[in-house]
Structure 1
Amino acid sequence: MYCPKCGHKHTEEANFCGGCGKAMHKSRNTKSIFAMILVLWIGGISYGYATDWSFRWPIETIASIQTEEDSQVEKKLKIKKAPTVANETKKQAKDKTELIQESLPSVFTIDTRDGSGSGFLYKAGGYIVTNAHVVAGYTDVVVRNSIGKDFAGTVIGISDRYDIALIKSEANKHVQPFVTETKETPIGTEVIALGSPKGLENTASIGYLTGLNRDMEMDFIYEKIYQIDAQIDHGSSGGPLLDATTGKVIGINSLLYKDNTVFGFSIPMHSMQKQVDDWINEPMSNKAVAALFNVYDDYVPESYQNSDDTSFDYEGYDDSEEEPDPEEYVDDTEVADEQVEYFIHDFRSQYE
């Protein structure tokens, strides 16, 4: 190795020139420094490119990757969630449809010579609840089931204070009866009204319980009754009002109010349970049913007109009087029937 300054020859291990004293490893150090600078420069360019020339540790880049991943997950969740909501809505609608279909066999049309109403199976064995004004004037009625078959029915309980009555019939007596709600139903509950408005059997309408504790007095006393916007009409009287979620009977559809808007009223079933149960345990006799209203005085139901049964006695019916001839007896019965018809038509005109 030779000194670059004076050309003096040196060994490879010499640190300084023996001729001029110059340091012999300057070029080696320079190359090392240059190489280091080059590496740092290349590294800096790479770092700047990786950090989008912000020269900050790429936290944002990682976050953006995470955000993008989260976004993809959310999209997948949304894609899955939409059908879930749709399926849930479909399921609820199906449940409501099934609820109505399962309930109709326990709902009846109640026919008399003067009109019709509705009723529902309260207890197994053929115990059917309806309104008193539906069967007023009759001890014997016709009960029609959901498939149009007629059965005989007998009024075994009726009130002259509250608009409620109980019928015993063989109609669908083995069908599952309704479950009754035992407490007050809150306002805003979705409800289903079942019955035969205008004689249209197997009718269901959906609405909401829109008011509570409505009190009114007409021929009957209505205390703390429900106000509803489910559509009901003449013939719906006595039909059940169901909780659309539980399927329980919460009321007896009884009154219709019309004035610009249409809404109805339903007697809370929980307030009538004791009376109905009392009638089931101790049914009223035909005499007691017929004598409950003054209009029944001297009125003989059709089933007794041609009967030899003398045990059916009424208030005001004198068994000791001379038996009238057949023509006179028929005429008297017709007059009594007309009086009952006039009374019932006037009596029912204010009800739905």
Structure 2
Amino acid sequence: MIPPYRADHVGSLLRPRELLAARWRGAGTEELAAIEDRYVLRLLAQQQMLGLDVFTDGELRRSNFMSNFTDAVEGLDLDGHVVARNWDATKRDSKVPVSNVTGVVVSKLRQRRGLTSQELPFLMQRAPGAFKVTLPSATQFPAIAYKRGVSDAVYTSHSELLWDIVAIVKSEIAALAAAGVPYIQIDAPRYSYYIDDKWREWMRTEMGVDPEAALDEAIAADNACFDAARRDGVTLAIHLCRGNNRSHWYAEGGYDAIAEKLFASLHVDRFLLEYDDARSGTFEPLRFVPRGKFVALGLVTSKTPMLETQETLRARIEEASRYVPLEHLALSPQCGFASTMEGNILTEDQQWAKLERVVQTARSIWG
């Protein structure tokens, strides 16, 4: 039986100042690992004290939510010699460059070590209860790592690159399940492309792909990974959001455009869904969630310090239960608190207050 994990969280937590300072000054491997170990233990103790149902290491050993992949795989230019333009999707004119993105594919990908080899042993030894390990979806990378004129000398298409990445993620997720990891979560923000007209047009013009065909392929890619990890007692989950970088977002829209296909097709036990503001749309698309699958409602925002009231959260959970039975719902923040190393714009105390509110509300509803 799959545990309900009523008081859940997405995974990343704010990095303590000492850890950030050590990274910025280029601390040595041993010194950095010692600092990380010390603070991971503190995070685990704090999660236990609050009463969260599942533990994480806060992704403290990563520079961002997907760096466990980029740090373990060769073939990506991480030094900024080759950059791909990124667009500010919060503006009406999505053709306004806001930054340059490193990590462009410059040669065939080759895995150097396990994606979670620097995280898993410590968690397995020290977690005080059920814990989750998070991985970026394979679908995260083709959109940001494939640059025409560079990457196409190695991979003829986004699709060819995607399936090379699938092979790596699939192997890792299978190893996690075999090792007895109780909760495996794939973070897949790129599904938000398919619910936002700006990004659908960007896919056509910049990537040169048909959004509907790309959506079908994305689901197939993630399912190949989930199927490799299917074991009794292992919760398989996917987290869907609309961007989370220093309290900023990049996509908007409800799940309506993709709900029927996505919820029915993904081979998961649990969906973690963003529902913290009006950009997320209504709960109506949840009617397509198959019976027996869990939905963790991301009603608590990780983007701002504002602390939601229990009354508001309870009312929204009751509203969502019109579409998914209450016994198959749970509560969480809408995203991590630090999808990037710098984290969102709130304090650690405010972060813990929000997670405490998640626990209090979950206990008041489900016991």
User: TM class, shorter-chain normalised?
Assistant: under 0.3
Name the TM-score, length of structure 1 as normaliser: 0.25
Structure of greater Rg: 1
Q: Which has the higher strand share?
A: 1
Q: Which has the higher helix share?
A: 2
Name the TM-score, length of structure 2 as normaliser: 0.24
